[in-house]
Amino acid sequence: MGQGNVNGQKQRLFIAIPVPEPIAKLLADWTLVHKEKLPFRKWTHPRDYHITLQFLGDTTAAQHEMLLYSLREVKGNPLTLALNGAGTFGKPESPRVLWAAVGGDVEPLTALQAEVVKATRTANFEPEERTFRPHLTLAKGFAGGLLLSNETLSSIPSFEWEADRFVLMRTHMNASPMYEVISDFPL
């Protein structure tokens, strides 16, 4: 587990469900096989796969302490989650993001996300305006070329796992892997 705020500087934080290493490996293997058919500029490092529950952004030391206290109060049960195909965000001819869909206990996952958002309000974080759509980002920045085929997007095997925690993560810009778990919260 990482340290809190270093020297009082702000940290770029978010809350997520991590993907276990064996599932990340299987997903990374799938991306390696399909990368040439999926022309994106930036691919997510396998250790960075996660389901974002809430993006927080730049966080002060005081907010960080309040956040830890509030997140310890969030209760939930372990969730059975699964990868369930893939898709894109953005225009079909130039998608911004390639993602893996999340299936399984989606309703309890959505309820957990709502509880996380409720808890973070006490540390003065505002929820995003867009609707929660659980997914794992695989790649960003379409490089052009052939449009993505539905056959390729639907070829992600349905990997299943039990999510027994959510985490607070810190972003290290321009690093790979880019994210570091700094706190764990069991379900």
Predicted pLDDT at 146: 64
pLDDT tens digit string along 12-34?
A: 999 999 999 999 999 999 888 88
SS3 1: coil
Q: Which has the higher per-residue pLDDT, 8 or 164?
A: 164
* pLDDT of residue 144 exceeding 90: no
Predicted pLDDT at 44: 95
Question: What does pTM read for this prediction?
Answer: 0.89
181 in a structural domain: yes
Domain count, the chain: 1
What mean pLDDT value characterizes the chain? 89
- Which CATH number does the domain housing residue 151 bear? 3.90.1140.10
> Cα 44 to the chain's mean position, in Å?
11
120 in a structural domain: yes
Predicted pLDDT at 77: 96
* pLDDT of residue 135 exceeding 60: yes
Give the residue numbers spanning the domain of 182.
13-186
- Are 37 and 146 in contact by the 8 Å Cβ rule? The answer is yes
pLDDT tens digit string along 164-173?
A: 999 999 999 9
Q: Which has the higher per-residue pLDDT, 8 or 3?
A: 8
Judged by average pLDDT, the poorest of 5-9, 71-75, 88-92 is 5-9
Predicted pLDDT at 152: 67
29 in a structural domain: yes
96 in a structural domain: yes
User: Can you tell me the mean pLDDT for 37-59?
Assistant: 93
User: Can you tell me the mean pLDDT for 61-85?
Assistant: 93
Which residues 6+ apart lie within 8 Å of 150 measured at CB? none
6 in a structural domain: no
3-state secondary structure 110-170: HHHHHHHHHHHHCCCCCCCCCCCCCEEEEEEEECCCCCCCHHHHCCCCCCEEEECEEEEEE
